[in-house]
Amino acid sequence: MLASPTVYANTVKDGETGFIYHDVNEFYSKLKFLVNNAQKRCEVAEKAYDYVKHNRLLSQHYEERWDWYNELIARLPELNDETQKRIELLQDKGYKAFGGFGNVQEKVEVF
């Protein structure tokens, strides 16, 4: 993986499970390094797969995800109210893009 730190800074260990670049020159340099170093590419890929297998597979934390979804469902009226307030605030400030939402309650309440 060759990635920006914006999303992956806390996940990818630079040089171990992938490569993080901060600008175009660093991207080019690291990409060139990876193209020219098959063994390092394989090592990093193997470590990245191991990391995902042990830390990121949904099968290992699906119960937490399930609980989180249930919590969101239980809080749906509260979350809908907060969403409505934010939309109204944005509309009051002149953000016309939010005018087409109609009744937020109708759109969000699916359960």
* pLDDT over 70 percentage in the chain: 86
Model confidence over 80-101: pLDDT tens digits?
Answer: 999 999 888 888 877 765 555 5
* pLDDT over 90 percentage in the chain: 53
DSSP code of 76?
A: H
Model confidence over 46-62: pLDDT tens digits?
Answer: 999 998 888 877 887 78
What pLDDT sits at residue 100? 52
Give the contacts of 54 (CB within 8 A, at least 6 positions apart). Answer: 60
Domain ranges of the chain: 2-56, 59-108
Three-state DSSP at 62 gives: helix
